[in-house]
Amino acid sequence: MRSRIESLLENYTHSKRDSLIPILQQIQDDLGYLSEEAVVLVGKHLSMPTSQIYGLATFYNQFRFEPKGKYHVQVCHGTACHVLGAQSILSLLEKMLKIKEGQTSRDGQFSLQVMSCIGACAHAPAIAINGKFYGKLTQERLKEVIEELRQQ
Amino acid sequence: MQLNIEVNGKELQVRRDETILSALLRNGIRVPTLCSIKGLSPNGACRICVVEVEGKAGLVPSCSHPVEEGMKIKTHSPRVVKARRTILELLLSNHPDDCLYCERNENCELQDLAVELNIRERRISGKKGKHRLDLSSPGVVRDPAKCILCGRCIRICDEVQGVSTLEFVNRGSRTVVGTAMNRDLNFSSCISCGQCVMVCPTGALHERSNLDDVLDALNNPHQKVVVQYGPSVSVSLAEEFGIKAGKDINGVINAALRKMGFSYIFDTTFGADVAILESAMGLKKRIETNQFLPMFSSCCPAWIKYAEQFKPEILPLISTCKSPQQIMGSIIKSFFAPAEGINPNGIYSVAIMPCVAKKFEAQREEMTQKAISDVDAVITTRELARLIRLYGIDIHSIEPQQPDSPLGMRSSAGKLFGASGGATEGIFRTLHYYITGKEMQQPKIADLRSNGGIKEVEVKIGNKKLTAILVSGMGNLRALLDSVAAGEIKAHFIEVMACPGGCVNGGGQPFGSSEKDVKARTKSIYEIDEVETIKVAHKNPMVTDMYERFLEAPGSDLSKKYLHTRYTKRDVLM
């Protein structure tokens, strides 16, 4: 892990603070999340305190601090989905998976993320699991989807 | 260059480069503030200082808005007052409302504002966040439920101390002041200096109180409770009781502590005298061998923690001598107790300090002898004030008394430890004697009296010219440490005090004191040095006697065992 982050930082040898967001994005693309180690290494690289990096990263929804699960569940919370019950979809998912938004289940199977909009408004309420879209969800259908994934 | 503005119908001449708030304050017009704090960059977070400016659509935060020619300002128009009240009501909407039990009860800026703006009912009820109390640090407690997100702590930690432990985490209504990766304070880069506690307007950051431990010990008939108080405590406590800042109430403290039932009352200044002898001897040896220079001071525990975390490569340069508090603790249990025929296990050793980092220092594992802590509990100047109130002692009428012998005797050199530059002055007076065999003709070294920041001073000792650098406020240190690590600094001694101005401005001192009050404390310490007869540590007869009976001489193997310590690299999230 460390060597991967370090080699990634080599592309930013003369960078300053203004490269912080691109660096974090690239690390997250590569590792799936921002580990404590990554935050510390970026801090050393840019001579920035880790608190400020963490403060910035938590400001944006896009950054996560736990590895993604085998199934990464993205819940759309755009206007259309919100109107058609995204909140109860999220609540049900949190209850079924026993995790909160931004977390990963202990067995590493599921992770949960809330998105501003995934662009499937016609199919609201919608979620995406590992990039595959599930639309017009009902509580029953959602339970089935999750159960199917659990069986696999 | 002057500008003309009109405030509440009155013409004012103001400076071009200032904010509305500073112009108002300079002209005696008071506007309430919460997030604003002198010397730090304005962040306009709380909006309580808004004023009405003619021609501007919205209200303007005076703390961060510059003055403009011809501005017409109203500071207390009905619109402004209404807005301020609403802002405060919103700040209070998710506040825990447990003022009665709060650390800052009767000493809280939020509470004062609620009184000032006449908030008498809860009109707005907000959703209360779920927050965890962070009790992980021995010095500082974090209670995010009481935080109003003014950001003062973040700015002082970053801009003044250069430590940057705290930062705004998350966004919008979920924003909190937190540490990196949301770890507890004891895993963070916090050095426990307590400057954040000093600026927090509410009880969101406060010291970890050890009063209950002290009370338990006082109530335990099988324990002898011994107490020591730091050099700057006697010139700071008075303010807690409405006496003018800087008044030295040493004798009153002795009398009050005796009344409470402390068995022996000692002055940490005795420990400072011993620290002077040990440090001067250490420095003399380093200068003779030209090794491990510059020597760094070791009396400030926040500075030690800073070095262990941020610059471990310079640890060999720090004086190995323990701080005055720990020296006292060690001497009390290893020398005083056996001499008095008391079992050290039956002693409970309390230190009263202007500092919260001292609470951390007392818990360090290096600070024990055969599993007995040198110091058992540390309380701050503020906690001492509470203790005095709790015991119903009237500071104004109590007769001053002497401390106990032998560890109550002091020189005024040790007393100087309370101010930035004082430790150096005390050490150099004795160093002069060690190097030349003669006393300084004039013990006062005025150049070494610093008002904070960073200062380089040359002192002539015999035919040698020695260079000392004084630093207080950790933000001034980073560049210097880099230069030292690179071998570019030719100084002999570097004194570091974490708090700007030294212990007189420590994180354990009374809340709400102004810059002027802190200066008065410093002045008082130097006045004590003017009038007292023993001005050098090596002439403290009780110190000499202690060496004869116990440690042989400064720098001896015995003193290394009892009075010296070691430092280790500390792995924390930086």
Return the CATH number at B119. 3.30.70.20
With contacts defined as CB-CB under 8 Å, which chain B residues touch A52? 164, 167
Backbone angles phi, psi at B45, to 5 degrees: -80, -35
Q: Are B420 and B470 in contact (CB under 8 A)?
A: yes
Q: What percent of chain A has pLDDT over 90?
A: 83
Establish how many alpha carbons lie within 13 A of residue A130's alpha carbon, considering only the half-sphere containing its beta carbon: 9
List the single residue in B168, B178, B180 with the smallest CB-CB distance to A39.
B180
At B227-260, the pLDDT tens digits run 999 999 999 999 999 999 999 999 999 999 999 9
Nearest CA in chain B to A63: B170
What is d(CA B258, CA B262) in angstroms, rounded to the nearest whole number? 5
Taking the C-alpha atoms of residue B365 and residue B143, their distance in angstroms, rounded to an integer, is 27
- Whether residue A36 lies within 8 A of chain B, CB to CB, comes out as yes
Instruction: Determine how β-strand B264-267 pairs with β-strand B205-207.
Output: unpaired
- In angstroms, the CA B354 to CA B407 distance is 20
- Residue B325: CB atoms within 10 Å: 29
The pLDDT assigned to B346 comes to: 93
Q: Confidence class of residue B371 from pLDDT cuts 50, 70 and 90?
A: confident
For residues B256 and B349, membership in a common domain is answered with yes
CA-to-CA dists, residue B499 to A110, B319, B374, B477, angstroms: 48, 19, 24, 12
| Helix H or strand E encompassing B181 | none
**CA dist., res. A9 & res. A42, Å (int):** 8
Place of tokens 């499937």: A120
Beta carbons of B267 and B537 less than 8 angstroms apart: no
Question: Does residue A45 lie in a domain region?
Answer: yes
CB-CB contact of A1 with A35 (8 Å)? yes
Q: Which pLDDT score is estimated for B1?
A: 76
Tell me: do A79 and A137 sit in the same domain.
yes
Interface test with B, best of A51, A53, A58, A64 (most B CBs within 10 A): A51
**pLDDT classification of B370: cutoffs 50, 70, 90:** confident
In a shared domain, residues B73 and B107:
no
Residue B242 shares a structural domain with residue B369:
yes
**CA-only gyration radius of chain A, Å:** 17
**Does A55 contact B at CB distance below 8 Å?**
yes
The complex's ipTM works out to 0.91
Q: Is residue B377 a contact partner of residue B227, using CB atoms and an 8 Å limit?
A: no
In DSSP terms, B46 is beta-bridged to none
φ/ψ region of B268 (left if φ > 0, alpha if ψ in -120 to 50, else beta) reads: alpha
pLDDT for res B129:
83
Q: Is residue B320 part of a domain?
A: yes
Residues in chain B within 8 Å Cβ distance of A60: 171
> What pLDDT sits at residue B452?
72
Q: Read off the pTM.
A: 0.93
B121 with B247, same domain? no
**Per-residue pLDDT tens for A10-58?**
999 888 899 999 999 999 999 989 999 999 999 999 999 999 999 999 9
- Residue from the list B165, B170, B171 with its beta carbon closest to the beta carbon of A51: B165
My answer on whether B456 and B504 are in the same domain is yes
Q: Report the CATH number at residue A132.
A: 3.40.30.10
Does residue B511 lie in a domain region? Answer: yes
- Asked if A18 and A47 sit in the same domain, the reply is yes
How does residue A152 score in pLDDT terms, banded at 50, 70 and 90? confident
Task: Using CB atoms, pick whichever of A51, A59, A65 lies closest to residue B164.
Answer: A51
Burial classification of residue B174, based on how many CB atoms lie within 10 Å of its CB (0-12 exposed, 13-18 middle, 19 or more buried):
exposed
Residue B190 CB neighbours (<10 A): 30
Sheet holding A71-76, edge to edge: A110-115, A71-76, A127-129, A132-134
Same domain, A48 and A78: no
Same-domain status, B538 and B552: yes
Residue B175 lies in a domain: yes
Distant-in-sequence, close-in-space partners of B568: CB < 8 Å, separation ≥ 6: B308, B312, B315
Which pair of structure tokens corresponds to residue B123?
């009109």
Number of domains in chain A: 2
Mean pLDDT computed over every residue of chain A? 93
Measured between CA atoms, the residue of chain B closest to residue A36 is B181
* Residue B231 belongs to domain spanning: 212-563
Tell me, yes or no, whether A64 lies in a domain.
no
Q: What is the pLDDT of residues B475-525, one digit of tens each?
A: 999 999 999 999 999 999 999 999 999 999 999 999 998 999 999 999 999
Q: How far is CA A26 from CA A18, A73, A140, in A?
A: 14, 21, 38
Q: What would the pLDDT profile of B292-318 be if each residue is shown by its tens digit?
A: 999 999 999 999 999 999 999 999 999
User: Which CATH number fits the domain that encloses residue B534?
Assistant: 3.40.50.1780
- Indicate the average pLDDT of chain B: 95
Percent pLDDT > 90 in chain B is 94
Chain A partners of B167 at a C-beta cutoff of 8 Å? Answer: 49, 51-52, 54-55
CB atoms within 10 A of CB B75: 19
Confidence label for B433 from pLDDT (cuts 50, 70 and 90)? very high
How close B167 comes to chain A (CA, Å)?
6
Question: What is the number of structural domains in chain B?
Answer: 3
B349 and B231: one domain? Answer: yes
Q: Are B148 and B48 in contact (CB under 8 A)?
A: no
Q: Residue A24: which domain range? A: 2-59
Dihedral sign from CA coordinates of B75, B78, B83, B86: positive
Q: Is residue A80 part of a domain?
A: yes
Closest chain B residue to the Cα of A56, Cα to Cα: B169
Q: Do A123 and A90 belong together in one domain? A: yes
Q: Which of A59-73, B259-273, B293-307, B414-428 is the least confident region? A: A59-73
Contact between A54 and B180 using a beta-carbon 8 Å cutoff: yes
According to DSSP H, which parts of chain A are helical? 2-9, 20-31, 36-46, 50-59, 79-83, 86-97, 139-151
Q: Are residues B445 and B544 in the same domain?
A: yes
A51: which chain B residues are within 8 Å (Cβ-Cβ)?
164-167, 178-180, 188-189, 573
> Collapsing DSSP states into helix, strand and coil, what is residue A83?
helix
* Distance between start and end Cα atoms, chain A: 29
The separation between the first and the last C-alpha atoms of chain B, rounded to the nearest angstrom, is 44
d(CA B460, CA A152): 82
Q: How confident is the model at residue B121 (pLDDT cuts 50, 70, 90)?
A: very high
Question: Phi and psi at residue B209, in whole multiples of 5°?
Answer: -75, 135
Tokens linked to B327:
């020296």
Is residue B68 located within the same domain as residue B113? no
Same domain, B262 and B358: yes
pLDDT at B532: 94
Q: In the prediction, which pLDDT does B419 show?
A: 95
Q: What is the pLDDT of residue B27?
A: 94
